[in-house]
Structure 1
């Protein structure tokens, strides 16, 4: 069977280019049901169209591909447009009225949509050997499962019965698609072929990655890395809880808190950040004045922290999370004796999970008592905070939690953070 399927790819005049390695894996599967994709740029639309065209040399073969709306089908570069690019110069015939290609063998490839739940009944009397769904997570599970009733073939036919789907994570159907293909998956003979941007040699990867980096963290993780686990929202922070302001009181209490990392960025890696939050408190309200973050070497981190401390002024106490064990003690000792000598510098041995430490900040933000002073760091912070604790990074949130903890001084605390005498010099 695989030899037959392989021939339907290599000798097919309607498929204009050779499939990628991942696409070939998808096309050669001998299972009823398979999902292709995950990350953006993996060539899922081409894979789905190739799969539909594999058996158009067989008389009476019928394939159909669905999108959720007609607009999705008709967009430039979408499947119907792509089919025209592939087939307009061939001997296949296009019917605009039926949105259907007919091949010399009598085989057909139809494009259709399922905008409403009732639309699935438009195909009640139809018969297909191939049913495809592009962007499956945009559909209801009931629509997808109903179309299985349309999958059938004549007795003795060698054409396999196939349901082939392509999708990125996210969308209204994310959970049921994940359950069907990633959780139940191979146990139910449903194969997920994971394809990412690096699996597609036909795209300009660098340019596409730069475009994806402009997305919000959730969508970026789903499309760039094909992450099915990241959830749509964290449960700690909402964007509208934070009010962005132009200025802050100058006679409050100020701290700078650092969450350390010391890893340079490398191709294909997404290391943690060193992040330092400058926060002030007055009358039970809190202003986040600045969050500085960077990815650099340990020496670069030292220079960064010294430069920021000098910029903040010696009146601002500097706090740093102390990692457990002797290595953490050594780092703190080095900063006390060398890097921040002459500054009010304090180690912080944290306890509890990151989520627990963020709870007081979350409560204060929800009550409207945390303000963000306008700056270039704000969007990055809000992206991270609203994804927390499900996002890929939490360094800025950790630094904010630490700063808040140092300012939220209770009566039973032995040491308080002193107010800045004469005020903090305003940041430019």
Structure 2
């Protein structure tokens, strides 16, 4: 049995002996400033208690001593708290709806800021960051509102920063796209919290995790190991990336604790279960009730695993990038997506997938940058637009945006399923592969399997466009590829 498994078992041994009163006493140690505000009857579920213990620091005295006291009181070995290994850098709690995820993340953030006197960043959607909406923001505000009104806790509304008597802070940050991380570089951040993490772009998540400063003087003084905690339901735009990172194995720096609605002592589970079961959406019900990461709304064109992953791409072949271009950047508008594909000896290789939502000028810059990286041997394909609009776009593409590169606009059927049928047939026959280092690989494959029933289809549209363009050239080509 490895050391982490032994520690997990030891934590559960102490949890199952704890009374509700002891769990409340343990919770009161989270935040001295707020302990008097905890409602009557407040307690923790076993899994909530486990997650809090798992994220505690070896050198923090009050919680460590309380756990040791419980060990003596109940005759349980709690030596793990004294000489435990470094806590995993990243933890994910949740996997279903109403399992107390936001509650746990809020408690962790408050503990770090109020008790340790350290700095916390809470990452969420941009609109939620400054309005105390969303799961974590709403929960924290409910707890601390009296202390904000009495000015015990300072609230900088413009910067969305809470400052506690200990000197610790909680900074609410919007992290909606792959470039959002650039706004939050550096800083002595001890705890990063990601609320509904499957809505956060993987690139911004990776950059935040890789780039934070973990050696603040205060953290070093008290022996605090910086870490990141996330929570989510098992669906969302980027669910495939986080499932791979945490649920399907993870690594020594990550751990996943599955929590279910029945683990949350604060909801009417039977009523919640009944409402989901009669909702008419069995996939959503299974995700929210059972924490199922392995199911999704399925389309009828592409099966899971229909595109195999390869470590290498042939150096030569017919190479094109197809673009599905969004008209606006409104919240409910589509994304712009570009798929680069190469055909070589009967196989179609997906080499790169770029997807983004930018203002028109930034859109153009991003597409031209891709063209420059792809090189002049990679033809650019866009959808032919009708009438005057099409003529204007052709001129814009050829004389400005893609000037110096080979560009072609092609007509496509209005029915997206009809467009995708040739690609579907090729995938079913094992003729399509994807490079293991392809950007947005997981998100693309997730979107492909859900097509045409999924919420988004931008990457699939770009892929079918470039596939059809290459297939047409192959059909008329007599040379070697």
TM-score, with length taken from structure 1? 0.50
Q: For residues 20-59 of structure 1, what are the alpha-carbon distances to aligned partners after superposition, in whole Å with 9 as ceiling and x for unaligned?
A: 2111111111322100001111000001111111132456
Cα 1:72–1:205 change in 2 (3 A) is farther
Q: 1:151 and 1:37 mapped to 2: Cα distance?
A: 27
> Match for residue 98 of structure 1?
159
1:69 and 2:133 correspond: no
Q: For residues 292-339 of structure 1, what are the alpha-carbon distances to aligned partners after superposition, in whole Å with 9 as ceiling and x for unaligned?
A: xxxxxxxxxxxxxxxxxxxxxxxxxxxxxxxxxxxxxxxxxxxxxxxx
> Which structure 2 residue ranges, 5 or more long, are not aligned?
1-6, 15-22, 55-86, 304-448, 451-481
> Match for residue 362 of structure 1?
none
2:212 to 150, 159, 165: 150
Cα 1:82–1:200 change in 2 (3 A) is same
Q: 1:72 and 1:205 mapped to 2: Cα distance?
A: 29
> Match for residue 33 of structure 1?
90
Cα 1:81–1:69 change in 2 (3 A) is same
1:123 and 2:184 correspond: yes
The higher-RCO structure (CA 8 Å, 6+ apart) is: 1
Decide which structure has the larger Cα Rg and report it: 1
Q: 1:161 and 1:49 mapped to 2: Cα distance?
A: 16
Does structure 2 conserve the Cα–Cα contact (< 8 Å) formed by 1:130 and 1:151? no
1:176 to 241, 246, 250: 241
> Match for residue 207 of structure 1?
271
Q: 1:234 and 1:127 mapped to 2: Cα distance?
A: 46
Q: Which 4+ runs in 1 deviate beyond 6 A?
A: none
Q: For residues 88-118 of structure 1, what are the alpha-carbon distances to aligned partners after superposition, in whole Å with 9 as ceiling and x for unaligned?
A: 2233222211211111111001111112322
Q: Secondary structure at the match of 2:222?
A: coil
2:28 to 10, 23, 26: 10
TM-score, with length taken from structure 2? 0.45
Following superposition, the deviation at residue 207 of structure 1 comes to: 2.1
Paired residues for 1:399-414 under 5 Å: none
Q: 2:243 and 2:212 mapped to 1: Cα distance?
A: 23
1:228 and 2:228 correspond: no
Does structure 2 conserve the Cα–Cα contact (< 8 Å) formed by 1:67 and 1:73? no
Q: Secondary structure at the match of 2:204?
A: helix
Q: 2:289 and 2:188 mapped to 1: Cα distance?
A: 37
Q: Secondary structure at the match of 2:186?
A: coil
Q: 2:133 and 2:200 mapped to 1: Cα distance?
A: 21
Cα 1:132–1:85 change in 2 (3 A) is same
* Count of equivalent residues: 238
Does structure 1 conserve the Cα–Cα contact (< 8 Å) formed by 2:129 and 2:137? no
> Match for residue 320 of structure 2?
none
Does structure 2 conserve the Cα–Cα contact (< 8 Å) formed by 1:10 and 1:18? no
CA-based RMSD of the aligned residues comes to 3.0
Cα 1:195–1:215 change in 2 (3 A) is farther
Cα 1:123–1:46 change in 2 (3 A) is same
> Which structure 1 residue ranges, 5 or more long, are not aligned?
239-385, 388-428
Following superposition, the deviation at residue 150 of structure 1 comes to: 1.5
Cα 1:189–1:110 change in 2 (3 A) is same
Q: 2:132 and 2:280 mapped to 1: Cα distance?
A: 21
Does structure 1 conserve the Cα–Cα contact (< 8 Å) formed by 2:113 and 2:169? yes
Q: 2:233 and 2:259 mapped to 1: Cα distance?
A: 10
Return the structure number with greater helix share: 2
1:138 to 199, 219, 223: 199
Q: For residues 169-200 of structure 1, what are the alpha-carbon distances to aligned partners after superposition, in whole Å with 9 as ceiling and x for unaligned?
A: 11111111011101232x42411111101101
Cα 1:123–1:96 change in 2 (3 A) is same
Following superposition, the deviation at residue 82 of structure 1 comes to: 1.9
> Match for residue 300 of structure 1?
none
Q: 1:9 and 1:235 mapped to 2: Cα distance?
A: 49
1:114 and 2:175 correspond: yes
2:48 to 23, 37, 40: 23
1:87 to 144, 151, 154: 144
Does structure 2 conserve the Cα–Cα contact (< 8 Å) formed by 1:8 and 1:55? no
Q: 1:150 and 1:8 mapped to 2: Cα distance?
A: 30
Tell me which moved more, 199-208 or 57-66: 57-66
Does structure 1 conserve the Cα–Cα contact (< 8 Å) formed by 2:123 and 2:194? yes
Following superposition, the deviation at residue 134 of structure 1 comes to: 0.8
Q: For residues 381-425 of structure 1, what are the alpha-carbon distances to aligned partners after superposition, in whole Å with 9 as ceiling and x for unaligned?
A: xxxxx99xxxxxxxxxxxxxxxxxxxxxxxxxxxxxxxxxxxxxx
> Match for residue 100 of structure 2?
43
